[in-house]
Structure 1
Amino acid sequence: MVDRAVKNPYPVRMARPRSFDEKQVLNAVRDQFWDAGYAATSLEDLMRVSGLGKGSLYAAFGDKRQLFLRALRSYTDDSHGHLREALAEAPRALDALRMLLEAPIDDSTGADARRGCLMANSTCELGNADPEVLDHAHRTYETSTALIGDCVARAQREGDLPAGADPIALARALLAAQQGLVFMSRTGLDAATLTATARSLAAQLLPDHSGD
């Protein structure tokens, strides 16, 4: 039998695998946006920190706005992962909630202190002009509130917080206090003052009822 197969004159071209680590690139551009903000970050900045050319960068992630949104989602996903882990690892939930207030103090002398929170920074810069950023901020803080609220409920079950308190209401108050401390640490406030402020907030928001 004669093989009548006809060779395809238009061979399919296999897509070349990406030669870069996507997570590493996202982390690099996230740091750039975190340091400089969205408006002050140029395409040249993104190319420099990512090590990619314009074509490769935009082919993989889209334009500057889409790249920023990807980096912002990466940041909030990582933040929620760290928060979930920190709240779950503490032997008692009350200790975890107190550590939440102390976290900005622990970071107050580090490189991230003057950066603040990328989500909060981005909301201040873009929230009024970009509904997608505002919606993401809302969902981010709702997720954080839910995680903290679960920890509050655990502290109630352990007998360390009043059983009648609304876990979500207290979680919102704790999140607002923690974000306030983040902002204060960004101004360069000294660690001793931040510590005193955090302890005052903890005494008011997280009184220990275990001995009642």
Structure 2
Amino acid sequence: MPRPRQFDEKRVLSSVQAAFWDKGYAGTSLDDLLAASGLGKGSLYGAFGDKRSLFLRVLREYDDANDAMLRTRLEQSDRAVDVVRDFVTGPLRDPDGAEARRGCLLANTAMELSADVAEVAAVARRSYAATTTLLAEAVRRAQREGDVTPHVDPDETAHAVLAGQLGLLVLGRVGQDPAILSTMAGTLLQGLLPPP
């Protein structure tokens, strides 16, 4: 009979996620994972599999959490246009740019591994498809609420919003000045979400 786990799985996954996020997949060593998790190698790999399996689990959970957060924001927001604006500007609000330099775990991973790891490319495609669906829903609602002109196509706008946000994340990751990123975000949103 297997022994019950003597650790908090959510805490371990959160700590391991932070290690991967900070250093990337290739840059995160087994020692980094052991230090982050507080577990021994046997316990870590016994519970989560090898480094690749652990990473893919972390990535899927990160993606699921982001999807749930965006859905909740859309359901609870008074104005849908604010959800779209927050999607673009949220990672850029840190005045010293630390959050922008950290980037998005999924976007960072997609750039690092998608060409070589089919599972990562699949997670990214699934995630970006779900995100554009939600953003298109937000644009449609914003049109009904009178905040966005009815002349824009919600699906095309959602794709452009995602592409713009990802571009800003890449620029933030390489250390673009936060004030310039904020100006870029404002210009992007003004062009994509024109009022009636």
Report the RMSD for the aligned CA atoms in angstroms: 1.7
What letter matches 2:24 in structure 1? G
Partner of 1:177: 164
Q: Among 138, 163, 168, which residue is 2:125 paired with? A: 138
CA shift for structure 1 position 204: 0.7
Q: Deviations over 1:140-176 (max 9, x none)?
A: 1111111111111111222222334332211110111
Residue 19 of structure 2 corresponds to which residue in structure 1?
32
Structure 2 residue aligned with 1:203: 190
Q: Percent identity?
A: 51
CA contact (8 A) 2:97 2:177 kept: no
Unpaired runs of at least 5, structure 1: 1-13
> What does the per-residue CA deviation read over 1:100-131, in whole Å, with 9 as the maximum and x for residues that have no partner?
22212213536433221111111111111111
Which residue pairs with 2:65 in the alignment? 78
Higher-helix-fraction structure = 2
Q: Which amino acid aligns with 1:49?
A: A
> What is the TM-score with the length of structure 1 in the denominator?
0.85
Distance 2:127 2:189 in 1: 23
The answer to whether the Cα contact below 8 Å between 1:104 and 1:181 also exists between their aligned partners in 2 is no
User: In 1, Cα distance between the equivalents of 2:25 and 2:116?
Assistant: 12
2:97/2:172 contact within 8 Å kept: no
Q: 2:74, 2:80 within 8 Å by CA — same for their partners in 1?
A: yes
Based on CA coordinates, which of the two structures has the bigger radius of gyration? Answer: 1
Which of residues 101, 108, 112 is equivalent to 1:114?
Answer: 101
CA distance in 1, matches of 2:112, 2:176: 23
Distance between the aligned counterparts of 1:195 and 1:123, measured in 2? 24
Q: How many aligned positions are there? A: 196
Q: Which runs of 5+ in 2 are unaligned?
A: none
TM-score by length of 2: 0.92
